[in-house]
Amino acid sequence: MDNREAQEFGYTDFDRERFLPEERSSGGRRGEFARDRARVVHSSALRRLGAKTQVLSPSGGDFARTRLTHSLEVAQIGREMAIDLGLNADMVDMACLAHDLGHPPFGHNGEKALDAWSRDFGGFEGNAQTLRLLTRIEPKVITADGRSYGLNLTRASLDATCKYPWRRVHAIAEAGADQSVKFGAYEDDLEVFEWLRIGAPANQKSVEAQVMDFADDVAYSVHDFEDAIVSKFIDVRVLADRANEDELLEKISNWNGGTISKVALADALERLRANHYWLTTFDHSPAGLGTLKNLTSALIGSLVSRTVDAIMDASPKESLVRFGSILVIPFEVQAEISVLKGIVSAFLMTSESRRPLYEWQRGLLTELADALLASNGENLDAYTSLAWTHAHDEVQRHRVIVDQIACLTDQSALTLHHRLVSSIAK
């Protein structure tokens, strides 16, 4: 068995198929999944994530994470888990790098704005947009008649990026304060979606996608917590004050929709506080920053190691690849992640002081979408300009505008809005 075959052990030729078959020289040293990872790494969509909001704006300082740095951290966690679990590390790494490619400017706030604007025309969902980007928008594989197949990834790799393997009509609102509807494919992407899901159990994520999803949860729960402390949105002294605990737990419970009891959340908060590096004061000194960094490392290590151990204990099979198992995350780990996310929500995302900013961002994207729609195909990039010429009804035209805005960075959205809307208003 050569190195390429060893890296793809447990996967079949069916898993390596591409929607548009490609010829490959027999002398290639990389496996198909390594090629998929390389295509994502070199994509323009991945580069754009460096100027897109994770939670805090990229323009707000040099410390806070962007979508790109977040994705790199998710990939690091996911790759190590893949190695431990005997999955293809290149595929999981790629899925982690790609998982946020479809997200628009201004983070989840931008996602809400685009979904509201296009709700009567198929809506917006970041994971469905990622599939669309990987399979048609990102320029790589284009046929002689001009049809784009995007990056034309293998079936197993595309499935590994799919967090929500169902259509919008089958989706239900998530629990918690967000109540967003999650799905994996728009109606006009069903051809490739159904192809990548051939043979897959209905509504079941592949194991590789499950690892990506968990790595994403760990990364953003811990790192958003870290960013919010450094950016002074979380006051660790308030967090440490037991007099505030009931109010804090109430906010955390509201954030997760009561899916975890307050007793379990309180126990999880106590376990987090028991960490050797847990902060009761923070002064932005080198020593303070070092302690905070050690805390984030310790939290990630604890969440991941307990989960990997539990998965391996519960999975007697030799191979977990594709649909070899449903990964069960320990309840204590789920509760701790929920507490970390809920703390950030309590101090930052539901803060009244932030509400005007979020409303302004949603209003800006809505105005921009209206202006682009009204311009009748003007002011679009190369892909969406061509797509506009083939759009024959309101559903298709709205989808073109959504595609255009989702590809913008925070700054390019601001610039385009200023040119099309603000300058006219003046």
> Does residue 58 register a pLDDT over 80?
no
| Greater model confidence, 356 or 43 | 43
CB 373 within 8 A of CB 401: yes
| Gap between the Cα atoms of 250 and 246, Å rounded | 6
Alpha helices in 118-172 (DSSP H): 126-132, 155-160
Residues near 290 by Cβ (< 8 Å), separated by ≥ 6?
Answer: none
| Gap between the Cα atoms of 240 and 235, Å rounded | 9
pLDDT at 115: 96
Question: For 158-196, what is each residue's pLDDT tens digit?
Answer: 999 999 999 999 987 765 556 678 999 999 999 999 999
pLDDT at 355: 82
Residues near 347 by Cβ (< 8 Å), separated by ≥ 6?
Answer: 228, 233, 234, 235
> Does residue 78 register a pLDDT over 80?
yes
Indicate the SS3 state at residue 323: coil
- Tell me the pLDDT band of 387, cut-offs 50, 70 and 90: very high
Strand partners, 168: none
| Gap between the Cα atoms of 243 and 394, Å rounded | 55
Window from 243-252, 286-295, 415-424 with minimum mean pLDDT: 415-424
In order of 23, 148, 156, 206, 231, the CA distances from 209 in angstroms are: 27, 25, 10, 5, 32
Where do you find CATH 1.10.3210.10 in the chain? 3-201
Residue 218: which of 296, 130, 118 has the closest Cα?
Answer: 296
User: What single-letter amino acid sits at 3?
Assistant: N
> Does residue 42 register a pLDDT over 50?
yes
Residue whose token pair is 């994207």: 365
Average pLDDT estimate for 33-47: 97
Indicate the SS3 state at residue 53: strand
> Does residue 382 register a pLDDT over 60?
yes
Judge residue 203's burial from the number of C-beta atoms within 10 Å of its C-beta, 0-12 exposed, 13-18 middle, 19 or more buried: exposed
Average pLDDT estimate for 69-74: 96
CB 141 within 8 A of CB 149: yes
CB 272 within 8 A of CB 240: no
| Gap between the Cα atoms of 91 and 33, Å rounded | 5
In order of 176, 341, 426, the CA distances from 208 in angstroms are: 26, 23, 51
pLDDT at 60: 56
| Gap between the Cα atoms of 174 and 125, Å rounded | 13
Strand partners, 167: 185
For the chain, the average pLDDT equals 91
| Gap between the Cα atoms of 48 and 66, Å rounded | 10
At 349, list the tokens: 């995302």
- Tell me the pLDDT band of 1, cut-offs 50, 70 and 90: very low
At 345, list the tokens: 């929500």
CA 179 to chain centre: 17
CB 118 within 8 A of CB 365: no
pLDDT at 408: 97
Give the count of beta carbons closer than 10 Å to the beta carbon of residue 111: 23
Judge residue 424's burial from the number of C-beta atoms within 10 Å of its C-beta, 0-12 exposed, 13-18 middle, 19 or more buried: exposed
CATH of range 3-201; options 3.40.50.150, 3.30.365.10, 1.10.3210.10, 3.30.930.10: 1.10.3210.10
| Gap between the Cα atoms of 126 and 103, Å rounded | 5
> Does residue 64 register a pLDDT over 90?
no
